[in-house]
Amino acid sequence: MSAPGAAVDADAMRRAIELAARGLFTTDPNPRVGCVILRDGRVVGEGWHRRAGEPHAEVLALQAAGAAARGATAVVTLEPCCHTGRTPPCADALIAAGIARVVCASLDPNPRVAGGGIARLRAAGIEVVVGPGAREARGLNPGFFARFERGRPHVRLKLAASLDARTAYADRRRAWITGEAARADVQAWRARSGAVLTGAGTVRSDDPRLDVRLAYGDPVRQPLRIVLDPNASCAPAARVFAGGDALLFVAPEALATARAAHAGSPGVRVEALPRAAGGLDLGAALARLAALEVNELWVECGPRLAAAWIEDELVDELIVYYAPRLLGADAPPLAALSAGYAAAPTCFEFLDARFFGGDLRVMLTARREESVCSPES
């Protein structure tokens, strides 16, 4: 492939990624995918996947290109599918439209596709290039890839704290630590997530709704609301259980009681998880959520559950909002980590720091290899 051709592909892939990002709040559980059709280096059609059940990006881009698709190149952020899911295979649509060349950022990790789309295109005589924009395209769909490649959602743990890393007032009064801009940002993270999870302690002390209250996508897609409540101690009237799709995880021995307590709420599903040190088995929770097609999991919880996620090394991204105030040593900590924790291998790498109103948001990604954590590296 000549250098100018590669530059045209790269530009088109950047555009396809921009298009894919439009589906950030709506495609779940499907991936965000964009597609550009190029004819003699010019864009003749664009498309992006909006919502599961609606056409895939390639089909919309082909529709936009019409007859100009014959002999053209399709640049797409994910391998075109070869299966019939809620919609027919994109590979067949590309072949039928007479596409001559396909550039895709990465393979589709869904086992129903997983290279089969590319094989079908090649068998039809279409040239296929895989790889340009792979990092960015994967970055748009961390949960979709995590679900198929690791059998679990992509986990983001959100914490809000004072400068001295305290997460609530010492007198436990119910008052916000961070300001409105930070809370609006939390709404956007919830809106892109397949599920939002908290613990029984937070439900009892804060009674959060954990829903999306700003318009992201039309209509607003509410994430599944999940509560980890080993002893079934949360009141069935808690706000998190009102208004629909909620999942309550309890320990096996509390299952019957919890099911009886929620018998009158069809929107609340109650399931058991094995117990683990001090709570429920978080790894088992993630496996179950992957089976429920949760791609991105947003965790907002108190210090004990936060510590469990961190100590179990199940956090992929840590998002901390720091408010410019000090709350003192009597206030609860950011995460109630055990005394020996500093020797554990998990550590984080700073990704980004940004102001939201008067608060500072710090984003970190998990680094699990011990060498990365050691001071020499």
- Provide the binding-site residues for ligand AOF, judged by CB under 6 A: 30-31, 33, 49, 52, 56-58, 78, 80-81, 85-87, 90, 108, 110, 113
Look at residues 365, 369, 282 and name the one whose alpha carbon lies nearest to residue 320: 365
For residue 172, the partner it binds in Zn ion, ligand AOF, none, with Cβ less than 5 to 8 A by kind, is none
H-only helix segments in the chain: 3-21, 57-65, 90-96, 116-123, 134-140, 142-150, 180-192, 200-206, 255-261, 282-291, 303-311, 370-373
Q: With CB cut-offs between 5 and 8 Å by kind, which of ligand AOF, Zn ion, none does residue 52 bind?
A: ligand AOF
Nearer to Zn ion, 20 or 81 (CB): 81
User: Could you say which residues in the range 34-63 bind Zn ion, by CB under 5 A?
Assistant: 56
Measured from the CB atom, the residue of 56 and 156 that comes closer to Zn ion is 56
Cis check for the bond before 303: say yes or no (omega within 30 of 0): no
**What single-letter amino acid sits at 265?**
S
Structure tokens that stand for 187 in this block: 């709404």
Q: Which one-letter DSSP state was computed for residue 244?
A: S
Q: What is the smallest separation between the CB atom of 62 and Zn ion, expressed in angstroms? A: 11
Please say if 58 is a catalytic residue: yes
Q: Which does 31 bind (CB under 5 to 8 A by kind): Zn ion, ligand AOF, none?
A: ligand AOF
| Cα separation, 313 vs 37, whole angstroms | 42
Choose the binding region for Zn ion from 17-25, 80-88, 228-236, 354-362 (rule: CB under 5 A). Answer: 80-88
Regarding 335 and contact with Zn ion (CB under 5 A), the answer is no
> Which residues, listed in sequence order, are joined to residue 34 by a DSSP beta bridge?
48
Pairing of strands 275-276, 279-280: antiparallel
Is the Cβ of residue 61 or residue 159 nearer to ligand AOF in the bound state? 61
- Tell me the closest approach of the beta carbon of residue 125 to Zn ion, in angstroms: 20
| 33 contact, one of Zn ion, ligand AOF, none, CB 5-8 Å limit per kind | ligand AOF
Among 35, 90, 105, 301, binds Zn ion (CB under 5 A): 90
Say if strands 359-367 and 347-356 run parallel, antiparallel, or are unpaired. antiparallel
> Pick the catalytic residue: 18, 46, 54, 58?
58
Report CA Rg, the chain. Answer: 23
Amino acid at 196: V
Write down the residue that tokens 């439900």 correspond to.
203
Q: Which does 57 bind (CB under 5 to 8 A by kind): ligand AOF, Zn ion, none?
A: ligand AOF
Active site members: 58
